Structure 1
Amino acid sequence: MKSKLTCTFLSLATLLFSQNTPPTISNVALVLGANNHLIIQYDLADEEGDAVEIAFRATGQGGLLFDYETSNATGDFGPNIAPGAGKQIQWDFSAYAGAQSDFRIMLVASDNQPLDIQALVDQVDSTRLKDDLTFIEGVRHRTAGVAHLEAVKDFIEMRFQESNLETYRQEFNYGSYLAANIIGRMIGTESEGTVYIHDGHFDTVSNAPGADDNGSAVAGVLEALRILAPYASKKTIKFIGFDLEETGLTGSARYVQSGILPGETIAGVVNHEMIGYYTEVPNTQELPGGFEIIFPDVVNALAADEFRGNFITNVGGGFSSSLANSFAAAAAQYVPDLKVVTLQPSFLIPDLSRSDHASFWQANIPAIMLTDGAEFRNHNYHTPNDKVETINFTFMQNVVKATVATLAELAGVQHSTSWWGETAFFTAADEALECGLHVSPNPVRGEIQLFWGDCLHGIFDVSLSDTNGKVVFDKKLDSGKASSFQIDAQPFAPGLYFLQVKSGQKKWLEKIVVE
């Protein structure tokens, strides 16, 4: 949080028997056929053997909205598609052939069963939260802890990639430091231009390991992602790690200024800001000056409980009131053990504007802050004592549960899954490419083709790692000797891999699926 100075078994059984598994799409191949036809081959699985409804959508390469006309497609899509291998869709894209550009394709598989949000919520795992926070803990400051700061950035980015999000960095300079917001886009399947954001900043002040501030938030965002990512949602959910919150909300302000994509409407932001400190000891919850005047009913309720620090504060008034009410209602329904204190100020209060939600407030975008209260409860705030051993993981787990329920309801998470990918039909090795790394095809069954633009000069490093971090390919390349390179993927086991290319201060990370 920004300093004021810088302004058991039974539950598992219930889960297994109360909600079946959504259908899945795998082994997708995008093939260029004759006469401007795209052939989409895929396998369809459903553990219960139910008939599945398949939706097929398309847009241009890198497109935000799937707005291409696909009603002329034929084959295995629509309702009542039987599970099995070798499914095929053919699409005549003649209406878009003149652009000679590639396509982004989405397939959605639904068994039209209701989603059991309670079963979803119950998957939130306190052990995973602790494991992630144990890694994240440590000074993450642009001058005092750069190495660990960069490691945490990479960690967040890798987790986004593993969850099949459209992942990228919004980079900008802050003095000599290259700052980066880490963004993962879980693309909506119906109203993808409508976006809900779940965020937490990952930086710390220079002297604190930042377990609560704000490693607890980052771990919470990653756990919410783990629960939600296997499902499709009608609306888009963006998971964001913000940089430089401690310098005055710099990262989130930059995102609001230039990171919201044309065609996106941000419907709401759920900002985690310190969600791990909890105590039942009386008189441990302090309050900012003037709260007894602004929120007399809240203060009276806290006094009746002897000012115990045993609740999460849910901050969002005015145009954010509906979002705050949605969180409070979801917590009451799905996580009754979580005590929520909702504050809905009718005017700007500095002590309630000290985190990244305030950047969205400034742009009239609905946003809430979920917080344990920072230094008004946790006296380890901004000190070397802000460590994992001070965190209450049951409390933290409950906050994440309520967040998952809120996002599932608002974004329209469905009992379905989705797949998206891009073709590489019109990208040739000798084509003048923009500065950066280009990978084709993906998914791959034979060779991975790498192309690079004019910004790669001299020697650069190429490595390929599996999801366990094991490096399966590592080589230095010379851009002066070739403009492309091929990696034989046949020796690699099928699965998800991460391709990393380093050239000087530049770095690219690409997700590769080997089939």
Structure 2
Amino acid sequence: MINYLYFTGVDDNGAGVAAMLEVVRQLTDRNKNGVKRKNTMIFVAFDLEEYGSCFGTSDCKLPNVPLGSRHFLQEWLPPWLKLNYGNAVPPVIHGVIILDTMMNYNTSARSQTIPPQIENVFEEAFPEAYASVASDNFQGDFLNLIYRQPTNDSYLAAEFLKSWRELGKPKYEIESFPLTFTKFSEIPSSDVKNAFIDFMRSDHGNFWESDLPAIWLTDSADFRGDMIQCYHQECDNLQVMLTDENINFLGKTADAIVTTMHKLSEPSGSGTSDASRCNQQTVLTILTYIIYTNRMQLI
């Protein structure tokens, strides 16, 4: 018999859903003011993330295969694309933004942890991020931006990073973690897989394995502050997580997504003076996923 523990899940992943709804609200307000968009945005909230997990098994090709996003990719998206675009000019999916566990903000020293067994690998793989976090005495005061450097993830990550920095509020920091592999299943060494397994713990893994660009935004879940004790526990609740700093941190993330999506949707009409034209089509996703598509091909 399997016993399931039910918990409120304010950070994991009420935070992602709240951010998605705020993004929808802001973009809808712009649309009501006359903005027209060349690309389509699809917002999706996935379930059954944990059910597909194969953590701890010897034949695990992926550390996590969330069933909700896998069903979306295999069963929902293909017929939707065919219905709306047909077979003549297949649409290009520009990118996916995954929001999963991303409102935990902590300025206490050593509130950001790195597992000792991978700290050397972590420092070698991400020297700039490691040095930055270490210089702040490992405060958990930053958003993690995780992507694959050799892919079109980099383009989407750069757009989001630009939007984040343009918002100011420097106390809410961001650190980039560019991965060198394109698919987790292609990493030959089990030691390397073990070192990077925590960079695959969300729905972006399904998109990466399907050769679709995606970035993951997270606060690092059970490696930071209150969530070290509260990850998948009852204390991931309103009383613990709903602080002013956490809300403001989450708000900056939502605002940066709005700016990024507004630009990449190729807007026209009134209220678009802050947006530049983009020759690429877009898909953006948040755990809760957003997709932009149009009839243009990447050149």
Shorter-chain TM-score range: 0.5 to 0.7
Structure 1: gaps spanning 5 or more residues? 1-142, 145-204, 418-515
Q: Which structure ranks higher in relative contact order (CA pairs < 8 Å, sequence separation ≥ 6)?
A: 2
Deviates more, 1:208-217 or 1:405-414: 405-414
The answer (yes or no) to whether the contact 1:271–1:370 under 8 Å persists in 2 is yes
Cross-structure match for 1:327: 160
- Partner Cα separation in structure 2 for residue 278 and residue 415 of structure 1: 37
Following TM superposition, by how much is the alpha carbon of 1:332 offset from its aligned partner in structure 2, in angstroms? Answer: 0.7
The answer (yes or no) to whether the contact 1:335–1:398 under 8 Å persists in 2 is no
- Partner Cα separation in structure 1 for residue 268 and residue 221 of structure 2: 35
- Partner Cα separation in structure 1 for residue 142 and residue 21 of structure 2: 22
| 1:405 and 2:259 are equivalent in the alignment | yes
- Partner Cα separation in structure 1 for residue 201 and residue 14 of structure 2: 16
State the identity %: 33
> Which amino acid letter does the alignment assign opposite residue 218 of structure 2?
T
| 1:244 and 2:48 are equivalent in the alignment | yes
| 1:305 and 2:136 are equivalent in the alignment | yes
- Partner Cα separation in structure 2 for residue 239 and residue 385 of structure 1: 28
More strand by share: 1
| SS state at 2:105 partner | coil
- Partner Cα separation in structure 1 for residue 17 and residue 44 of structure 2: 9
- Once the two structures are superposed, residues 186-239 of structure 1 have per-residue CA deviations (whole angstroms, 9 ceiling, x without a partner) of xxxxxxxxxxxxxxxxxxx73321100001000110110011023132211111
| SS state at 2:201 partner | coil
Alignment of 1:367-378 (within 5 A): 367-377=214-224, 378=227
The answer (yes or no) to whether the contact 1:276–1:395 under 8 Å persists in 2 is yes
Alignment counterpart, residue 385 of structure 1, candidates 232, 235, 253:
235
| 1:256 and 2:106 are equivalent in the alignment | no
Alignment counterpart, residue 212 of structure 1, candidates 1, 11, 17:
11
- Once the two structures are superposed, residues 28-80 of structure 1 have per-residue CA deviations (whole angstroms, 9 ceiling, x without a partner) of xxxxxxxxxxxxxxxxxxxxxxxxxxxxxxxxxxxxxxxxxxxxxxxxxxxxx
- Partner Cα separation in structure 1 for residue 15 and residue 67 of structure 2: 20
Following TM superposition, by how much is the alpha carbon of 1:356 offset from its aligned partner in structure 2, in angstroms? Answer: 0.8
| 1:271 and 2:98 are equivalent in the alignment | yes
The two structures have a TM-score, normalised by structure 1, of 0.40
- Once the two structures are superposed, residues 136-158 of structure 1 have per-residue CA deviations (whole angstroms, 9 ceiling, x without a partner) of xxxxxxx98xxxxxxxxxxxxxx
- Partner Cα separation in structure 2 for residue 335 and residue 402 of structure 1: 10
- Once the two structures are superposed, residues 407-432 of structure 1 have per-residue CA deviations (whole angstroms, 9 ceiling, x without a partner) of 11111234459xxxxxxxxxxxxxxx
The answer (yes or no) to whether the contact 2:167–2:252 under 8 Å persists in 1 is no
Cross-structure match for 2:175: 341
Which of the two has higher C-alpha Rg? Answer: 1
- Partner Cα separation in structure 2 for residue 415 and residue 310 of structure 1: 38
> Which amino acid letter does the alignment assign opposite residue 364 of structure 1?
D
- Once the two structures are superposed, residues 329-364 of structure 1 have per-residue CA deviations (whole angstroms, 9 ceiling, x without a partner) of 111113443311111100243211111111111111
CA RMSD, 1 decimal: 1.9
- Partner Cα separation in structure 1 for residue 269 and residue 207 of structure 2: 31
- Partner Cα separation in structure 2 for residue 237 and residue 373 of structure 1: 27
| SS state at 2:106 partner | coil
Structure 1 segments of 4+ aligned residues over 4 angstroms from their partners: none
| 1:350 and 2:197 are equivalent in the alignment | yes
Alignment counterpart, residue 113 of structure 2, candidates 283, 286, 292:
286
Structure 2: gaps spanning 5 or more residues? 53-65, 86-90, 185-195, 272-299
The answer (yes or no) to whether the contact 2:7–2:232 under 8 Å persists in 1 is yes
The answer (yes or no) to whether the contact 2:167–2:256 under 8 Å persists in 1 is yes
Figure out how many residues of one structure are paired with residues of the other and give that number. 215
Following TM superposition, by how much is the alpha carbon of 1:293 offset from its aligned partner in structure 2, in angstroms? Answer: 2.4
